[in-house]
Amino acid sequence: MTIAITGGAGFIGTVLAQQLIIAGRSDLRLIDIRRSEAFPELTFDADVRDEDAMLRALQGVTTLYHLAAEHRDDVRPISKYYDVNVQGGRNVLKAARAHNIRQMIFTSSVALYGLDAGHSKEEDIPKPFNDYGASKLESESDFKTWAAEDPQRRLAIVRLVATFGPGNRGNIYTLMEQIARGRFVMVGRGDNCKSIAYVENVAAFLRHIAQGPAGSHLYNYADKPDLSMNDFVRTVRVALGYQGQGLRLPYAMGLCGGYAFDTLAKITGRRFPISAVRVQKFCANTIVDARRAGDSGFTAPHTLEEGLRAMIAAEFPDHKKAA
């Protein structure tokens, strides 16, 4: 039985592969457009946008984790979200049909619930606020169609929150780096809450749900309890050797600053850690109900604070000494 992971050289894919190997699985295939630094010998060089490459890559596979995605919030052109997330998913599904793959675990996103959507549950009507969320929602529909075609097929869709951990260079790392460099300014009151997840817990959950009855199954995944932005920033600052909350700006002023950086990015062609959409996301309540994941019998092996401290120790090992 061969297990394949699209996006296997990526952040979550690498941790998932590590956990599977530790659990005794040697029949792994990591499918990616770049070679895995951790497991080069397991990498199958293929792009999900290449239909023929997917047909070759998935031959002999029995269980597929589909993690490959375009997810940054500053991707240009916008069409890349749909090329990778939608058409890439369709290429994966075509190969899965050709090779009679009967089990897939697909990582989607809570971005499809919308901005400031409240306490989002799996049964809520999706209202994506950006093209990333819209592309993930469209791809979910394609995967559900695949599952419905054969009663023996099994699909688990996992809508992930922002996921962090050592080696990640997403928004949470950017925020930590700004705090570490003394450049962070809290925008807004900071009482809004964020559902986030530690990558080791995410990988453990993906392994956990690769079993069970046939059919289509949908889960939100987030580590609980949720942190307010004040709590998050305070935890990171303390771990880095700082005291207190630091500087603070009103929301309107911070949003204006985000638009200013957007304009500068268009003029210079550079990417900046601050943008209007990142300010909006930072100040929004992004809370998801993850009780269904808990009801599946899963218990996260790490707390959020343990995960944050592990990431800080790995990414900023000398900072506390210097602070």
- Catalytic residue numbers read 132
Residue 269: strand, helix, or coil: coil
CA atoms of 63 and 106, how far apart (whole Å): 11
Q: Would the CA dihedral through 2, 145, 115, 121 be positive or negative?
A: negative
CA atoms of 206 and 196, how far apart (whole Å): 16
13: tokens are 């894919």
Instruction: Give 245's DSSP letter.
Output: -
Backbone angles phi, psi at 122, to 5 degrees: -60, -30
Structural contact between residues 288 and 256, judged by C-beta atoms closer than 8 angstroms: no
CA atoms of 156 and 144, how far apart (whole Å): 9
> In terms of C-beta density within 10 A (0-12 exposed, 13-18 middle, 19 or more buried), how is residue 52 classed?
exposed
DSSP 179-229: HHTT---EES-S--EE-EEEHHHHHHHHHHTSSS-SEEEEEEE--SS-EEH
CA atoms of 94 and 119, how far apart (whole Å): 35
Instruction: Give 151's DSSP letter.
Output: T
Structural contact between residues 158 and 207, judged by C-beta atoms closer than 8 angstroms: no
Structural contact between residues 164 and 170, judged by C-beta atoms closer than 8 angstroms: yes
**Where do runs of H (alpha helix) occur along 110-198?**
131-148, 171-180
